[in-house]
Amino acid sequence: MRQTPKLFQSSAQFLLTPPPPLSLSPIQDSHTSPSPLSLKPHCHFSRRDLAIITSSSLLLGPHQTLDPFHLSKALAEENPPNTNKNEQGASSNTIPSPSCIDTTLTKKAFLDISINGEPIGRIVIGLFGNTAPAGVARFTDIISGAAGISYRRKEFVKIMPSYVQHGGLRSYGVDAELAKKTGSGLAIENLQDEWERANEICLGTKNLEGSVSIIVRDPLKPPPKLKLVAKGGKLEIDEEEVGTDPNGTEFTIATKDSPELDVSALVVGRVLEGMEVVQRIGQVKTVQENTSSPYFRVAKLIGDKRAVVAERGFNRPYSKVVISNCGLLE
């Protein structure tokens, strides 16, 4: 029989021989010394770390040990800490400074709330006319009725875990006609400009608990679709807007700090009295979301109108939450 060369025998023996035991603590009390391979319960190593340890022990030899200092140094070299200052700053919660928003109150307004016809109390709002003059002007004109339209007898349409949202006024029908008669209109370009300036000047969460904000944009609105149209006997590419922009009359009241509102809403004031009324609105039962359903996701993907209608109903209150009266306070 052909014999295996000694060189291959020694190599195979070396590969089959388990590595020598690793001692993480070379100096231990002889009375309480654990077994060489035992690790404390709070020590956790990944597969990559164990591979580094095994390779290091083979290089050191059977009679040498890898002390904790060299172990931590080796792991640090293989897994360097993240030193990107931008990423660290993005992960930390930024709290706006006191000079971030001028919280001087220029006007006060009130909202009387009822649920299913039963009055539950009054919300008093202080408005920041120096910070958002256009937003406060829009809000006060509607709340006082000076714009020919009012929030009176209009409903809250969405109740989220961290804020409640009022449906505002319609961009068509009676509301739009009344606004045209007074020359108010529902243009929101100036509101969007204020929102952009606020985001540039003030970093961090602006929609803190009790903040009152006007919705000026829809972050979920898809980009416009391109289509071919015939104009003057020529084919031209035109953009078709998908969905509608908010008209600057919907507003939110934050029941908790709501950084998710910063991408769509302009802060115009804060609740001074009646925060318990806002919390009462937030406790009203709502239609539960069903976005995790595979049927809904497929319908939304193929553009089924039933999915769009169903999505509009998510988080709507079962009870009728209405502003029974509103106006300005002297």
Residue 238, pLDDT score: 78
Q: Say if residues 175 and 169 touch (Cβ distance below 8 Å).
A: yes
Residue 46, pLDDT score: 53
Closest by alpha carbon to 236, among 226, 244, 245, 246? Answer: 226
CATH pick for 107-218+246-286+318-329 out of 2.40.100.10, 3.30.70.140, 3.40.50.2030, 3.30.565.10: 2.40.100.10
Q: Say if residues 143 and 326 touch (Cβ distance below 8 Å).
A: yes
Helix and strand element counts for the chain (H, E): 10, 10
Rg of the chain, C-alpha, whole Å: 32
Domain locations along the chain: 107-218+246-286+318-329
Longest Cα separation, the chain: 110
User: What phi, psi does 274 have (nearest 5°)?
Assistant: 90, 25
Strands 107-115 and 118-127: antiparallel
CB atoms within 10 A of CB 236: 10
Residue 99, pLDDT score: 55
Interhelix angle for 189-201 vs 133-144, to 10°?
Answer: 130
Q: Which residue has the tokens 């804020």?
A: 163
Give the C-alpha separation, 47 to 187, whole Å: 60
User: How does pLDDT run along the chain (330 residues), one tens digit per residue?
Assistant: 455 444 444 444 444 455 555 444 444 444 444 444 444 444 455 555 545 445 444 444 444 444 444 444 444 444 444 444 344 433 334 444 445 788 899 999 999 999 999 999 999 999 999 999 999 999 999 999 998 899 999 999 999 999 999 999 988 888 888 888 887 777 788 999 999 998 888 888 899 999 999 999 988 777 777 777 888 888 888 777 666 788 899 999 999 999 999 999 999 999 999 999 999 999 999 998 777 778 777 777 777 777 766 767 789 999 999 999 999 997
Sign for the CA dihedral angle at 264, 266, 267, 269 comes to negative
- pTM (whole model) above 0.85: no
